[in-house]
Structure 1
Amino acid sequence: MAMKNPYAQYKRQAVNTSTPEELTLKLYEGCIKFINIAMIAIDEKDIQKSNTNILKAQNIINELNITLDMNYEISNNLRLIYDYLHTRLIDANLKKDKSILEEVKEFVVEFRDTWKEAMKLARQGK
């Protein structure tokens, strides 16, 4: 049986073999990517494309939120922030407001960078 889409198969394999930590990092990076695409789409007045990519970013924030391990105190704080970011993405989508997207992106970039550093420190501790 011939492969129909080798890139899709590669992506699926990359997800299936990633650690939970790596998957979280990929979610942050995907969210940043979709926000960037949405901002470009707003500039291009492509309402459908901006909507689609903001919804993708919302879905990622939602996924990060629902997968929090609530046995840790920090998870309560993260839940509040993720709820806020989700609401801001809805606002950005309704208003097609790039400044709101920038605000959300700054949070996500900070989370991603902190997560990368935590992963690095965890590997050094092993």
Structure 2
Amino acid sequence: MSIQDYQLNYLKVRVETASPGELTLILYEEFCKKLMISKNLLSKGLVDEMRIQVFKAKDILNELIITLNMDYDISKNLYELYWYYNNRLANFLISKDVAVLDEVLEFGQSMVDTWKLAIQSLKPGDSL
């Protein structure tokens, strides 16, 4: 079994056993991973491969959008943020401006950090 197969198996088990809050964290982590890969591919001049990773990151934002419960004000705010960064990624695909990609990556990393804190602050038996 290759390293990639082990990584996919690990992620599969992690997703299958995760709480809803942990699933959201996984999405944010994968979002950041796709952006880091995109940045690396762009630096190597592999534009087509970079585009694939950016589209995967956009897919994650779309998944986050469709799972929002719009009964809460925070969901409306998140909806606006997700759309903003989805549009920034579209701008990046056109401009190839690494500063734009860094801006989106900074957002993603802040969401990972925030979500980790939220999960850690839960009492046993609580869920997000």
* TM-score, normalized by the shorter chain, greater than 0.5: yes
In the superposition, the TM-score normalised over structure 2's length comes to 0.87
1:68 has 2:68 as partner: yes
- The alignment's C-alpha RMSD in Å is 1.8
Q: Is contact 1:34-1:57 (8 Å) kept?
A: yes
In the superposition, the TM-score normalised over structure 1's length comes to 0.88
Q: Is contact 1:27-1:60 (8 Å) kept?
A: yes
Q: Is contact 1:51-1:93 (8 Å) kept?
A: yes
Q: 1:89 to 1:125 in 2, by over 3 A?
A: same
Shift of 1:86: 0.4
* Distance across 2 between alignment mates of 1:61 and 1:93: 15
Quick one: which amino acid aligns to residue 63 of structure 2?
E
Q: What is the 5 A alignment of 1:110-125?
A: 110-123=110-123
Query: 2:40 is matched with which residue?
Result: 40
Shift of 1:104: 0.5
Q: What is the 5 A alignment of 1:1-126?
A: 7=6, 8-123=8-123
Shift of 1:109: 0.9
Q: Is contact 1:41-1:47 (8 Å) kept?
A: yes
Higher relative contact order (CA 8 A, sep 6+): 2
Q: Is contact 1:89-1:100 (8 Å) kept?
A: yes
* Distance across 1 between alignment mates of 2:124 and 2:108: 24
**Partner secondary structure for residue 68 of structure 1:** coil
Q: 1:44 to 1:6 in 2, by over 3 A?
A: closer
Structure 1 regions of 5+ residues with no counterpart?
Answer: none
Q: 1:98 to 1:75 in 2, by over 3 A?
A: same
**Partner secondary structure for residue 18 of structure 1:** coil
